[in-house]
Amino acid sequence: MKQVIVMAMQGEFSHIVIVGGGFAGLTAAQNLKKQKNIKITIIDVNNYHVFQPFLYQVACGDLAPSDIAVPIREQFKNYKNISVIMDEATVIDSDKKIVFTKNATALNYDYLILAVGSEDNYFGNNHWREHTIGLKSLKNALKIRKELLETFERAEIANHKKHVTFTIIGGGPTGVELAGAIAELTKQAIRSDFTHINPLDTEIILIEAGSRILSSLAPSLSAVAQKSLEEKGIVIKLNSKVMDISPHQIKLWSGEKIESDLIIWAAGVKAKSIKHLLNKDEIKLGTNQRVLVKNDLSLPFNSNIFIVGDAAEIKGKDNKAVPALAAAATQQGKFIAKVIRARVAGSEKEYEFKYLNFGNMAIIGRYSAVADFTWIKFKGVLAWIIWDLAHIYFLIGFRNRLTVFVKWLWSYITHGKAERIIIK
């Protein structure tokens, strides 16, 4: 029988349990850590927080995993009111206010923050997962890197005359940034590394079901991005819906079949399931499995449970769902910390989350990016500089910022990729 660990006793403090150490969960903890009347427990299956916008750079050899990830414990080592548990939440008893975990731990709570994040969405075609690699984790980023490099090694041994083909499904920011980075890897970093094959002959295909790539940006910027990718030799297939995926083959609804050495899935994400944790019929789901929440991000039937980040669906000022982006998750983390501070202090004030859309950006390659801030748009070198500075700023930890900056500088000077070791 699981033993309940009692954390909130005799009204001395409130216990906040946070499930998930992503942008929303970590930001909430950082904004609550100095509250003397609050204790926090963070539960995550990993012992680290990863800066997901840089996963594609790990996949393509620009950065190492430790450059974009930080141990969660390290962030709170000076705060004795915060505990970190590397575990998986399995069941939540909302009536008794207890979170049960996979490794036989049970935690009671006063307030629960569910920041479980998102995962690749195969739109009901889960068998495609066996033949593709998504880019939602460090593990998969390293797997993509391994497959990219091993494909060339196999071709070198076989002395292939046939060129290597890599295909990315999904023309959003992840797909576009990944396509550009793979092009730089093959056409610059490793172009002279092999004897029997020529990496310059590599075919990179980007498949998009819609009429343009980067549909969240202005059409003019989509056109700029497409032109830049095509100048790098990337083949872009628009209005191309995937019918089926089998080992090393993609079949489109048009009837076209594409043979590919590696297939990368970047066609969308969905919220990780929360319904199975709570097992409550009252939970209503919106688009992509996101949970519909009240204006203060709490569940409609339980004001002590909050859903934040990619798992929450709430409307913005334009009456559209707040996007599942790191910026939105960070804002929600700060907001929910404010709500909980007020609740603990005894306030009954009603709060409403208001998302501030600072715009969207995508990097295409060296000196090439697009940035859409609604009121003003940038492209080319200026957008590239803005993208670099913004992402360095939001990266956690001075050491990580310095390391990433130095590696970027080395890469831009030498056209090399620092991380090209194949680890089996």
Q: State how far the Cα of 187 lies from the Cα of 180, in Å rounded to an integer.
A: 10
Domain check: are 316 and 394 in the same one? Answer: no
Q: Please check whether residues 222 and 370 belong to one and the same domain.
A: yes
For residue 41, is it within any domain? yes
Closest by Cα among 133, 109, 106, 130 to 120: 133
What DSSP designation does 350 have? -
Helices vs strands, H then E, count in the chain: 11, 27
Average pLDDT rounded to a whole number, residues 277-285? 87
Residues with catalytic roles: 177
Say which CATH number the domain at 138 has: 3.50.50.100
**Which SS3 state, helix, strand or coil, does residue 296 take?**
coil
Tens of pLDDT, residue by residue over 32-47, are 999 989 999 999 999 9
Same domain, 254 and 302: no
Domain range for 233: 126-267+359-414
Q: Please tell me whether residues 238 and 168 are part of one structural domain.
A: yes
The residue among 312, 344, 376 that closes a domain is: 344
Is there a single domain that holds both residue 171 and residue 260?
Answer: yes
- Phi and psi at 210, nearest 5°, equal -85, -175
Which residues touch 161 (CB under 8 Å, ≥6 apart)?
none
Instruction: Indicate the residue among 344, 370, 391 that finishes a domain.
Output: 344
Residues 322 and 198 in one domain: no
Question: Average pLDDT, whole number, for the chain?
Answer: 92
Say if residue 360's pLDDT is above 60: yes
Provide the number of structural domains found in the chain.
Answer: 2
Burial label, 169 (beta-carbon count in 10 A; 0-12, 13-18, 19+): buried
- Residues 11, 116: one domain? yes
- Summarize pLDDT for 200-237 with one digit per residue, the tens: 999 999 999 999 999 999 999 999 999 999 999 999 99
Looking at the structure, tell me whether residues 212 and 95 fall in a common domain.
no
Structure confidence by residue, pLDDT tens digits, 164-206: 999 999 999 999 999 999 999 999 889 888 888 899 999 999 9
Residue where one domain finishes, among candidates 314, 344, 374: 344
Note whether 397 and 260 are same-domain residues. Answer: yes
pLDDT at 9: 44
pLDDT at res. 5: 58
pTM above 0.85, yes or no: yes
Q: How confident is the model at residue 317 (pLDDT cuts 50, 70, 90)?
A: confident
Q: Are residues 160 and 263 in the same domain?
A: yes
User: Per-residue confidence at 13, pLDDT binned at 50, 70, 90?
Assistant: confident
Closest C-alpha to 132, from 177, 168, 178, 174: 168
